[in-house]
Amino acid sequence: MDVDHLLKSGFLKQNKDQIISIVIFHYLQKVNLIENIPAFFKNRFFLTSFVFLVWISFFDHYNFFFHAELIQQKNELKKELRRLKIETAKNTIFLRNMNNSEFMEKYAREHYLMKKDGEDIFMLD
For 42-71, the DSSP string reads: H-HHHHHHHHHHHIIIIISTT-HHHHHHHH
| Domain range summary for the chain, segments of one domain joined by + | 65-115
Q: How confident is the model at residue 66 (pLDDT cuts 50, 70, 90)?
A: very high
Q: How confident is the model at residue 96 (pLDDT cuts 50, 70, 90)?
A: very high
Instruction: State whether residue 39 is helix, strand or coil.
Output: helix
Instruction: Say how many C-beta atoms besides its own lie within 10 A of residue 63's C-beta.
Output: 13
State residue 58's pLDDT score: 84
pTM passes above 0.75: no
Residue type at 70 in one-letter notation = L
